[in-house]
């Protein structure tokens, strides 16, 4: 490799041209690594590749620049002796550079619990015919081989030889634009994901933090008309009709550019035959295969100086078509139905509609946009949300997916393009531009994902419904109808009947995301992203959800611990068989302690875990403690624990007519009693996790443990205390079980360890859809 320029900054990134193929690991074909600032330096008779600080620098005169450069460490990544000095620069052997694990494959495998892997140089090699050079930069290609004495299950499940896995890494050396794009400052409520650094030469009143809006360069003529559009090329490996759906959905963004005054600035098309899809001078949409349910991704390589996007990479997981198909088939049970053709047409169209939105979503990331999980209050949904299929019931009470996914951009998506790509102006652009976006709520990942997320309006995989209670009620109605109509017709005729359980699990847990949205009201708060000095169209600061709404949400969630919601209908249960020979229970199955057959109690546990996980997260319990202290009308952690425990162990027989009372036809009293106790143990296990370690402040942990002590005394009354409730409230066997539960709970409180009550159950994955 000839080094034509030294001391010249450029970007270095390592992408995977051939991946591992595991959904759990993310080491996919086409995955971009981190973009790092680098430069070659001459050191005597050697050339050194040095990574320079990207997130810390200093602007100003020469002295300020020197102070910034000398204040933060750089990294000498690689060096090699000069083997020839030509007039155009030194020549070095770049083999060692190409064989560096700059993508971090070994680190990723270790972080994902797959064991310590060492790079085996003897089994790694260059791939000369994939090495390229040109105006867009240089590419070094190599097959890297990693070995481990104790590999994890995920990597062993896809590698031909367990303990040894090889990938193809492309190391890209990318020049920075000679004429930098005008930087656009990032507004916290703009929907752009923002890239940043600290400018330590900035005036003190401005602060050191600099956050920029990522965006492509749109080249225009003197009249402002785009002359060089941003083009995304779609992998021809995507089969039809999915490929056309991807192209169509991706091209929705062209409408937003046109509305923003940039007609023709963006398009998506199928890559011509023979296109090098790993060339970073092209923006591509790749079709990626994996071994199970996994995410799709949109990435961008950016100039850290300005935020200019230099390359866009989208990875669409091919199994998404299978996941959406499975859900649609489970809801409609089309096979063998008198309207089989019509229902299968709806299944097919549902998948196509989902792929259009998925393509638009991931390309949106590559354009510089992040998620918005608060678009249920928008007139139309944004493609940057995670959508749940809009499912209703027909007049005959049959699930209907006719309009499962909205097609086209929403107003928020048009705002994203107008703000990021609208005309440049002196200083920060007006926000929001042209009056759009001012009234549209915006919530990103940190405020919407995970059980402890605080914002009351932030939740994912929901229908376009403002009222979370109405959305939950509708979802539960669809769930009941689908389970009541469950037949072998949910599976194609050629599939083995063991897979019926995966379809039943999809329906049994269909309400999981709608439940999360309701649970977010408990301890929920509302706020927005803003700058301190701008006028706010909404109330400033943070406001808790009103007390009546919090109580309504708590009771609604506790209602889902009743046997009628926890027990799979007998009609569906009787159809379930074990997986056939040579088939195994994968992640999509419910767990079983009943041998190879379906375990109804595992279904109860999984449904109960949806409630416990949402409400008993330590962050939620901590928030409710202060909210309750501020206003006792709001439920505190004690009231949350009481509500869940009372749902499983009612305080008196007349609470529900007896522990074994069935609240749905077909559930026997014995099943109801066992389901309640099973759900109760799920709640106890989540409480054990919450009270373990330092997740809860000591004062909050005391409240929770006090409620557990009260339950222990109620289930196993001390000798001097009278038993709670009439003696005949439950059968003797149930009372004996309760006493044993009380004793185990008391032992746990005396020596708290999560092992004492057992681990929470595994919930089969529900995302992505």
80: Cβ contacts below 8 Å, ≥ 6 apart: 46, 47, 92, 93, 94, 96, 97
Q: For residues 620 and 523, is the Cβ–Cβ distance under 8 A?
A: yes
Q: Quick one: pLDDT at residue 719?
A: 75
Q: Which residues pair with 85 in a beta bridge?
A: 90
How many CB atoms are located within 10 Å of the residue 278 CB?
22
Beta bridge partners of 167: 144
- By the 8 A CB rule, do 714 and 724 touch? yes
pLDDT for the residue 656: 47
Residue pLDDT, tens place only, 48-73: 999 999 999 899 999 999 999 999 99
Mean pLDDT along residues 242-257: 98
* Per-residue three-class SS string for 145-192: EEECCCCCHHHHCCCCECCEEEEEEEEEEEECCCCCCCCCECCCCCCE
Is the Cβ–Cβ distance between 368 and 298 less than 8 Å?
no
Question: Across residues 575-598, what is the average pLDDT?
Answer: 94
What is the C-alpha to C-alpha distance for residues 474 and 315, in angstroms, rounded to an integer? Answer: 33
Give the pLDDT score at 434.
43
What is the full DSSP assignment across 433-476? GGGTTTT-----GGGTSSTT--BTT--SSB-S-S-HHHHHHHHH
Which pairing describes strands 230-234 and 266-270: parallel, antiparallel, or unpaired? parallel
CA distance 44 to 191: 48
Mean pLDDT of 679-704: 95
pLDDT of residue 222: 85
> In the prediction, which pLDDT does 715 show?
94
Instruction: Look up tokens 């501020």; give the residue.
Output: 630
Give dist(CA 296, CA 418) in Å, integer. 25
CB neighbour burial string for 593-628, b if at least 16 within 10 angstroms, e if fewer:
eeeeebbbbbbbbbbbbbbbbbbbbbbbbbbbbebb
Model pLDDT, residue 426: 52
| Residues 350, 389 contacting (CB under 8 angstroms) | yes
Q: Is residue 431 predicted with pLDDT exceeding 90?
A: no
Q: pLDDT of 108-149, one tens digit each? A: 999 999 999 999 999 999 999 999 998 889 999 999 999 999
Q: According to the model, what pLDDT value does residue 427 have?
A: 53
**How is residue 498 written in tokens?**
């063991």
192 beta partners:
369
Buried b (16+ CB within 10 A) or exposed e, 456-494: bbbbbbbbbbeebbebbbbbbbbbbbbbebbeebbbeee
User: Which band of pLDDT confidence, cut at 50, 70 and 90, is reported for residue 430?
Assistant: low
**Confidence at residue 654, expressed as pLDDT on a 0 to 100 scale:** 44
Domains of the chain as residue ranges with CATH: 10-176 (no CATH), 219-418 (3.40.390), 523-533+541-757 (no CATH)
Mean pLDDT of 485-491: 97
Against a cut of 0.85, is the pTM above it? yes
**Per-residue confidence (pLDDT) for residue 365, from 0 to 100:** 98
Structure tokens at 720: 């001097």
Q: What is the DSSP letter of 129?
A: G
Q: Report percent pLDDT > 90 for the chain.
A: 85
Residue 12, beta-bridge partner list: 36, 173
Point out the least confidently predicted range of 211-220, 484-493, 745-754. Answer: 745-754
Q: How confident is the model at residue 723 (pLDDT cuts 50, 70, 90)?
A: low
pLDDT in tens, 543-581: 999 999 999 999 999 999 999 999 999 999 999 999 999
Tell me, what's the pLDDT at 204? 83
Token digits for 386?
């995670």
């Amino acid at each position: 490799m000839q080094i034509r320029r030294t001391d010249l900054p450029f970007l270095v990134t390592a992408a995977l041209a051939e991946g591992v193929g595991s959904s759990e690991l993310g080491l996919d074909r086409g995955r971009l690594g981190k973009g790092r600032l680098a430069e070659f330096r001459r050191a005597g008779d050697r050339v050194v590749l040095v990574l320079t600080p990207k997130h810390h620098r200093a602007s100003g005169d020469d002295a300020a620049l020197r102070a910034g450069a000398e204040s933060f460490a750089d990294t000498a990544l690689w060096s090699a002796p000069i083997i020839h000095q030509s007039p155009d620069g030194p020549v070095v052997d770049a083999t060692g550079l190409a064989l560096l694990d700059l993508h971090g494959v070994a680190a990723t495998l270790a972080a994902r619990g797959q064991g310590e892997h060492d790079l085996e140089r003897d089994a790694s090699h260059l791939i000369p015919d994939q090495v390229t050079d040109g105006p867009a930069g240089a590419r070094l290609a190599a097959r890297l081989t990693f070995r481990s004495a104790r590999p994890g299950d995920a990597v062993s499940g896809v590698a031909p030889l367990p303990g040894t896995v090889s990938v193809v890494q492309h190391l890209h050396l990318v020049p920075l634009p000679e004429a930098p794009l005008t930087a656009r400052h990032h507004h916290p409520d703009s929907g752009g994901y923002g890239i940043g650094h600290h400018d330590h030469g900035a005036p003190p009143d401005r602060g050191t933090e600099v956050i920029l809006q990522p965006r492509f360069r749109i080249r225009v003529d003197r009249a402002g008309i785009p002359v060089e559009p941003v083009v995304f090329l779609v992998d021809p490996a995507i089969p039809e009709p999915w490929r056309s759906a991807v192209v169509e959905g991706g091209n929705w963004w062209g409408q937003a550019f046109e509305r923003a005054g940039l007609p023709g600035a963006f398009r998506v098309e199928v890559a011509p035959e023979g296109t090098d899809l790993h060339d970073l001078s092209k923006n591509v949409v790749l079709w990626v295969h994996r071994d199970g349910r996994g995410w799709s991704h949109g990435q961008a390589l950016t100039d850290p100086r300005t935020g200019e996007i230099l390359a866009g990479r989208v990875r669409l997981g091919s199994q998404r078509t299978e996941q959406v198909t499975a859900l649609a088939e489970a809801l409609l049970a089309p096979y063998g139905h008198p309207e089989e053709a019509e229902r299968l047409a709806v299944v097919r169209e549902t998948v196509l509609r989902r792929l259009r939105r998925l393509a638009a979503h991931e390309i949106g990331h590559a354009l510089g946009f992040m998620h918005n999980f608060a678009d249920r209050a928008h007139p139309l949904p944004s493609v940057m949300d995670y959508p749940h299929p809009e499912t209703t019931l027909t007049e005959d009470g049959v699930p209907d997916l006719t309009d499962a996914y909205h097609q086209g951009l929403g107003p928020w998506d048009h705002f994203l393009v107008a703000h990021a790509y609208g005309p440049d102006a002196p200083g920060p652009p007006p926000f929001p531009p042209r009056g759009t976006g001012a009234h549209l709520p915006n919530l990103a990942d940190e405020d919407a994902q995970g059980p402890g997320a605080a914002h009351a309006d932030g939740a994912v995989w929901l229908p376009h419904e403002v009222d979370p209670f109405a959305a939950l009620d509708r979802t539960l109605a669809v769930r009941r109808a689908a389970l009541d109509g469950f037949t072998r017709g949910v599976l194609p005729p050629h599939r083995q009947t063991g897979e019926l359980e995966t379809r039943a699990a999809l329906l049994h847990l269909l309400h999981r995301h709608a439940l999360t949205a309701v649970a977010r009201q408990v301890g929920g708060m509302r706020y927005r992203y803003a700058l301190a000095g701008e006028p706010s169209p909404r109330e400033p600061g943070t406001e808790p959800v009103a007390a009546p709404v919090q109580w309504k949400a708590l009771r609604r969630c506790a209602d889902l611990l009743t046997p009628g919601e926890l027990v799979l209908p007998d009609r569906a249960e009787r159809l379930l068989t074990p997986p056939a020979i040579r088939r195994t229970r994968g992640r999509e199955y419910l767990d079983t302690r009943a041998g190879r057959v379906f375990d109804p109690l595992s279904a109860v546990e999984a449904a109960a875990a949806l409630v416990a996980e949402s409400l008993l997260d330590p962050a939620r319990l901590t928030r409710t403690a202060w909210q309750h202290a501020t206003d006792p009308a709001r439920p505190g952690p004690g009231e949350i624990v009481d509500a869940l425990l009372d749902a499983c162990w009612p305080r008196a027989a007349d609470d529900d007519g007896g522990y074994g009372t069935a609240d749905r036809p077909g559930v026997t009293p014995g099943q109801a009693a066992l389901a309640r106790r099973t759900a109760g143990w799920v709640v106890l296990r989540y409480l054990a996790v919450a009270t373990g370690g330092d997740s809860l402040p000591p004062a909050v942990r005391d409240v929770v443990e006090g409620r557990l002590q009260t339950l222990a005394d109620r289930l196993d009354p001390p000798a001097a205390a009278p038993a709670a409730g009439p003696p005949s409230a439950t059968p003797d066997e149930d009372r004996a079980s309760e006493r044993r539960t009380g004793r185990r709970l008391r032992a746990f409180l005396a020596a708290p360890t999560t092992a004492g009550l057992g681990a929470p159950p595994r919930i089969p994955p529900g995302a992505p859809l």
